[in-house]
Structure 1
Amino acid sequence: MRISALKPNGIWKHFEAINAIPRASTKEEQIIKYMIAFGESLNLETIVDATGNVIIKKPGTYGRENDSAVVLQGHLDMVHQKTVTSNFDFETQGIEMFIDNDWVKAKETTLGADNGIGVAAIMAVLSANNISHPPIEGLFTIDEEMGMTGAMALTKNQLKGKILLNLDSEEDDEITIGCAGGVDVEITGNYNLEIVNNDFQYYEISVSGLSGGHSGVDIHLNLGNAIRIFANYVLELKNKVDVKVCEILAGTLTNVIPRDLNSTIAIRKTDFTDFEKCNENIISNIKTKHQTTDKNLNIKCSPVKGIFSVVDEIFLKQLLKGIQTMPNGVFSMTEGLDDLVQTSNSIAKIKLQNGTFSIACHTRSSVDAERDVVVQKIRESFPNGKTEEIGPYPGWEPNPKSKLLSVAKKCYQEINGVAPAVKSIHAGLECGIISEMYPNMEMISFGPNILGAHSPEERLQISSTQKFWKFLTILLKEL
């Protein structure tokens, strides 16, 4: 069964269409062209700004032409992640989707439901002729996942709407009214290389099979981080044998908990017997520690031929200690709200090769002062490196008394027979940036159930998407 055959056809056909288009963050050229052609095919006013954001305007339906406009907003880019065994090429291939009972999934890659299903819903509204709605401004931003540069480039006169519905949430029983701000933190520097003699045997170490996931909404789950696991592994080895590190590569995006890591290490040949004895035991202990959250964790150690340069011992100790002591995971919870993370950090990427290194983190917080505390702790973990804050974005201050929220709660209750949860989330939404530009615009965020976002386990619930669509269309009728 084709995805486009699912009900309601309007939303699923658009989701299938955009998922056939490569649309990685900062590489949205193809999807931008597609959206322009889509808007023009409907004879709707279609605007693309200098950054690449697309705005498609649709008049209100009969009798509602003079109502206040509503902005429907989603982002065009998606996170590109795949399993280590996948040969999928994100540059040229469309996502390979399939149906598994009540879920739409992708074959060994991210699905792109974040935020493709929100974009598809907006397209369905724009192309429909049987939905009552006020004037619509469909706002499709770029580069949300990497830096929110699309939202940051918006200007004060681009939008006329007084209400914004962000369709980038991932739980269908919630209405989101606030989010954390954040910043990428990158540490860079140099280290000395040493050449060791033939007394060493080299091994390739791979960490794989971790759950991964979103470094904001999943950070409280205590999921395994490939970089921290490797550091702990090497430190355990160093207690038993003479081990040196040649290079380390892990992570691709700062908003993803790193699932995989590859490294080359060197073990003194005279320690081979001790290494054989302790290595299996260390790996077993690490896997046991993470068996609840990451049951598929695999640490593989394979001998490789050749002679490699190694990291000088002083720097290696500093590196491993820094990775161990740097904040990773939940830093604090919101007072009075036990289920809401206030501040966190995720060690997301590392590249250590040929005498240079870089480590990238993503720090999130709803309290700017505490975010700065975490950034300072990161600096202190690597005192000899250069630390830079990149692309900071603001949080979104909740407004629990907004008229929009009241209408949305009423609609949800009438449709589903229960009240929705009203929450702030520990993730970045473009609402924070847009609300700074348009301080008088009321906004909420909602969406269908999406699990495993930012990982190859990402999946979208079919029945929940139907529920989401019904809520969206009835809410537009009431606004």
Structure 2
Amino acid sequence: MSLAVRNLAPKEVWNMFADLNAVPRPSKKEERVIQFMVNFGENLNLETFVDHVGNVIIKKPATKGLENRKTVVMQSHLDMVHQKNADTIFDFDTEGIKMLVEGDWVTADGTTLGADNGLGVASIMAVLASTAIEHPSLEALFTIDEETGMTGAMGLESGILKGEILLNLDTEEDDEIGMGCAGGIDLTASRTYLEDQSADNTTGFTISVKGLNGGHSGMDIIKGLGNANKIMNRLLFDGFTNFGLRISEINGGSLRNAIPRESVAIISIDSVATEAFLLETGLLIDSIKEEFASIETNLVIAIEKTTLPEKVMEIGVQEGLTKSIYAALNGVYRMTPDIADLVETSNNIARVIVKNGKIEIGCLTRSSSETNKTDLANSLKSAFELSGFDVKLSADYPGWQPNVTSEILDIVANLYDRLHGEKALVAACHAGLECGLLGQNYPEMDMVSFGPTIRGAHSPDERASISSTQKFWKFLIEILKNIPSK
């Protein structure tokens, strides 16, 4: 599978990407990819080291004639989001990504591809390995754990880097140049509950929601896509009153930064209400499918009779759970008032787990406004605390405030215009880039973000455009030639 990818142009980038994708690199488990990058740098006889949190830094001197240019930090993150289709058998901890070429796209066989941010990493590797590309002094910064907390960028100490310009290669539209991004905060609501024995004359059912698009909880939140946890909650909400429905287990969603695609619930209902339950819930399912018909064409909601669960959640907690999830906002909270069509603040109800007397709900709240990020987090916190949940806020990171007087932004935007005969979209994005955190310890560093076109990031539908990668690579090489003097 990777042979077809290795033959794509530019070969230097795709071969590095294939090498990288052979290394398992889940967030929080980057030991193997860290060693891979250290070996890569040392084999090139370049200064290579790992900082105290696990970031890898590789330094390369300027090519002849560009020694007087400003030092450039090229930055991408090593970890990737791990998502797979329910019917895909794959172990992210031990297996390399199985890649496919489909027309103008590189994709993976039932899993995320890792182009976010693997193509950025591969491009930096290709520059470091090249003996032909003209460039100033380079500091390659490969951060860890971007996808689940940005602890790599957060832990990078001041003084390690000497660069004056940072090129972040983590934007996913090749006609966009990033000049700002949203910050974020994780919210975890948890509580315990007592379990009741399933009553006599009750019947077990499994409800499953699957086939949703999912996607990036920042970039795709504006699309109004279905959230499996919210849809499941609608199916369960009135169930006790109407059918004696009792919840035994729920397993919905996975990663906080991925819009949840699937949810499965195990329930019981009064046996005498079976016919009414199937009829009325079937009508509700039809209504939900109709609501999402134009954007969630593969949505499947199924109800199947199953073995009666031994235990179910106490009814008072069940009522509080379903009401809290209903009350908690999911999606766009506020649009940016000063930039058209840009989300300012949003929330993703990413994970809902109910099992063995414990509930855990995970959300990721994003905003380019620190005050509105806090406002929405407090709103969510209140919705869950009213039902007896213990709520913790963690992994708070700042946004990247746009600098409209940026020298490198002006250079990059003008180069794009000159190369392509049209202007790039210079904008902030609703994703969480590491530039905001890096700017805390390097406030004088001039930053810009760009990258090749990637679709469906954070989902098994992730794919990277081949032609766009060619366009991005030429753009990157041209930028390195045009870095300003010190």
TM-score by length of structure 1 reads 0.98
- Cα shift at 1:317: 1.3
Task: Answer yes or no: is the 8 Å Cα contact 2:266–2:309 preserved in 1.
Answer: no
109-118 or 412-421, which moves further after superposition? 412-421
Where does residue 437 of structure 1 map in the other structure? 441
Amino acid at match of 1:44: L
Where does residue 242 of structure 1 map in the other structure? 244
Alignment counterpart, residue 454 of structure 1, candidates 449, 452, 458: 458
Task: Answer yes or no: is the 8 Å Cα contact 1:236–1:282 preserved in 2.
Answer: no
Where does residue 388 of structure 1 map in the other structure? 392
Structure 1 position 292 matched with structure 2 position 309: no
Cα distance in 2 between the residues matched to 1:196 and 1:321 = 22
Query: Which string of whole-angstrom CA distances, capped at 9 and with x for unpartnered residues, describes residues 213-242 of structure 1?
Result: 011111010111111000101125446422
Amino acid at match of 2:106: V
Alignment counterpart, residue 474 of structure 1, candidates 460, 472, 478: 478
Structure 1 position 205 matched with structure 2 position 186: no
Cα distance in 1 between the residues matched to 2:461 and 2:241 = 36
Alignment counterpart, residue 340 of structure 1, candidates 334, 338, 342: 342
Give 1:355-366 correspondences, 5 Å limit. Answer: 355-366=357-368
Task: Answer yes or no: is the 8 Å Cα contact 2:25–2:33 preserved in 1.
Answer: yes
- Cα shift at 1:293: 1.8
Where does residue 404 of structure 1 map in the other structure? 408
168-177 or 303-312, which moves further after superposition? 303-312
Cα distance in 1 between the residues matched to 2:362 and 2:468 = 35
Where does residue 220 of structure 1 map in the other structure? 222
Cα distance in 2 between the residues matched to 1:340 and 1:238 = 40
Amino acid at match of 1:154: L
Give 1:304-323 correspondences, 5 Å limit. Answer: 304-323=306-325
3-state secondary structure, aligned to 2:237: helix
Where does residue 94 of structure 2 map in the other structure? 92
- Cα shift at 1:92: 1.3
Amino acid at match of 1:412: Y
78-87 or 195-204, which moves further after superposition? 195-204
5+ residue gaps, structure 2, are none
- Cα shift at 1:133: 0.5
3-state secondary structure, aligned to 1:373: helix
3-state secondary structure, aligned to 1:2: helix
Query: Which string of whole-angstrom CA distances, capped at 9 and with x for unpartnered residues, describes residues 1-60 of structure 1?
Result: 621111111111000110111100011111111100100111000011121110010000
3-state secondary structure, aligned to 1:382: helix
Where does residue 27 of structure 1 map in the other structure? 29
3-state secondary structure, aligned to 1:85: coil
Where does residue 422 of structure 1 map in the other structure? 426
Amino acid at match of 1:406: D
- Cα shift at 1:279: 2.7
Cα distance in 1 between the residues matched to 2:148 and 2:452 = 22
Task: Answer yes or no: is the 8 Å Cα contact 1:54–1:140 preserved in 2.
Answer: yes
Amino acid at match of 2:30: E
3-state secondary structure, aligned to 1:211: coil
Where does residue 41 of structure 2 map in the other structure? 39
Alignment counterpart, residue 58 of structure 2, candidates 52, 56, 59: 56
- Cα shift at 1:68: 2.1
Cα distance in 1 between the residues matched to 2:225 and 2:481 = 41
- Cα shift at 1:198: 1.9
Amino acid at match of 1:369: T
Cα distance in 1 between the residues matched to 2:82 and 2:50 = 24
Cα distance in 2 between the residues matched to 1:237 and 1:188 = 22
Where does residue 112 of structure 1 map in the other structure? 114
Cα distance in 2 between the residues matched to 1:190 and 1:373 = 27
- Cα shift at 1:401: 1.4
Percent of aligned pairs sharing the same letter: 46
Cα distance in 2 between the residues matched to 1:49 and 1:66 = 27
Measured on the aligned residues, the alpha-carbon RMSD in Å equals 1.1
- Cα shift at 1:65: 2.6
Cα distance in 2 between the residues matched to 1:129 and 1:379 = 54
197-206 or 343-352, which moves further after superposition? 197-206
TM-score by length of structure 2 reads 0.97
- Cα shift at 1:190: 1.4
5+ residue gaps, structure 1, are none
Query: Which string of whole-angstrom CA distances, capped at 9 and with x for unpartnered residues, describes residues 103-147 of structure 1?
Result: 101111000000000000000000011111000100000000000
Give 1:105-184 correspondences, 5 Å limit. Answer: 105-184=107-186
Task: Answer yes or no: is the 8 Å Cα contact 1:169–1:176 preserved in 2.
Answer: yes
3-state secondary structure, aligned to 2:185: strand
Task: Answer yes or no: is the 8 Å Cα contact 1:204–1:262 preserved in 2.
Answer: yes
Structure 1 position 4 matched with structure 2 position 6: yes
Query: Which string of whole-angstrom CA distances, capped at 9 and with x for unpartnered residues, describes residues 376-410 of structure 1?
Result: 11122112111111110010000021111111111
Cα distance in 2 between the residues matched to 1:442 and 1:198 = 68
Structure 1 position 269 matched with structure 2 position 274: no
Cα distance in 2 between the residues matched to 1:171 and 1:151 = 23
Cα distance in 2 between the residues matched to 1:470 and 1:439 = 29
- Cα shift at 1:76: 0.2
Query: Which string of whole-angstrom CA distances, capped at 9 and with x for unpartnered residues, describes residues 330-356 of structure 1?
Result: 000011323100100110011111111
Amino acid at match of 2:342: L
112-121 or 292-301, which moves further after superposition? 292-301
Query: Which string of whole-angstrom CA distances, capped at 9 and with x for unpartnered residues, describes residues 303-353 of structure 1?
Result: 122442111111111111111110110000011323100100110011111
- Cα shift at 1:360: 0.6
162-171 or 276-285, which moves further after superposition? 276-285
Where does residue 280 of structure 2 map in the other structure? 278
User: Which 4+ stretches in 1 moved above 3 angstroms?
Assistant: 236-240
Cα distance in 2 between the residues matched to 1:181 and 1:381 = 22
